[in-house]
Amino acid sequence: MYAIVKNNNITQYINYPKSIVIGDVRYPAKIFELWTTAEKEAIGIYEIIVDKTNYRDPAYYINTNSSHTFADNRVTESWGTAIAKNLNDILVTQKDIDDGLVIDKEVGDVKIEGLKSIHKKIIKKQASSLLSKHDWQVIKATEVSEYSVPSNVTTYRSNVRTKSNEMETKIDNCTTVDELKALYESINTGTEENPVFARPLGKFPEEI
C-alpha cells in the first residue's frame, strides 16, 4: 500500500498499483514495479510502513483505528494503545435498570460476558461434543437391563469431565488478560534436541 505526499501532507492512498496523475503528469501502473524506492519518493509516492508495536490480539484486546503519519521522510501506519477486554463478567446494577439500559434482567445478572465466561463456554461445548458420541450407550444402559456401558467408555467420559474442570479452573485462576492468552500459546516442555510443544491449558484426552 502506498501514499501520495504533497507539501508534507498525505493527500491520497493507493491500495494497489494503478495509473495515477501527479501534477500534470500521468504515470503508468508499471512504475510501482520498475521504479526504485528513491524514484517513487522523488515524485511523492511512499510505501506505507506498518508499525504494529501497539497492535494486540483482537481476541483479547480492543485496538484503536489505525492512523497514518508522514515524518522523517516515511509514511507510517500505527495504532494507539490497545485496551484489554473485560476478564470478568460485568453485572447489571440498579442504575442500569433505572436508566433503562437493560431489559428483562435483574441486579446481579450478567450484562456483558467477560473473557473467562466466554472461554469456559467454549471448553464446555468441546467437552459436550466429545461426550455426545457415547450418549447413546449411556441411554441404552438405562433402558436395557442386560446392557452396560463398556469400561473404556466410562473411563474416557470421566477423563473428559475431569480435564474440562481442570481447564476451567486454570481459566478462572487468571488475573490478567495476558495470563489467559498465555494458556493457549504452545511452549516447549521438552528439550531443544527433542522439543515437545504443548499449551499450558492442556488438551482433552484421546479416546482409547
CA distance 201 to 181: 10
pLDDT of 190 above 90: no
pLDDT digits (tens, 9 = 90+) for 195-205: 888 899 999 99
Average pLDDT over residues 118-126: 98
**Whole-number pLDDT of residue 194:** 84
Q: Hey, what's the cell of 16?
A: 494497489
**Whole-number pLDDT of residue 191:** 83
CA distance 88 to 110: 10
pLDDT digits (tens, 9 = 90+) for 99-109: 999 989 999 99
Q: What is the mean pLDDT of the chain?
A: 95
pLDDT digits (tens, 9 = 90+) for 19-63: 999 989 999 999 999 999 999 999 999 999 999 999 999 999 999
Phi and psi at residue 18, to the nearest 5°: -155, 165
Phi and psi at residue 21, to the nearest 5°: -110, 125
**Whole-number pLDDT of residue 159:** 97
Q: Which residues are bridge partners to 6 per DSSP?
A: 9
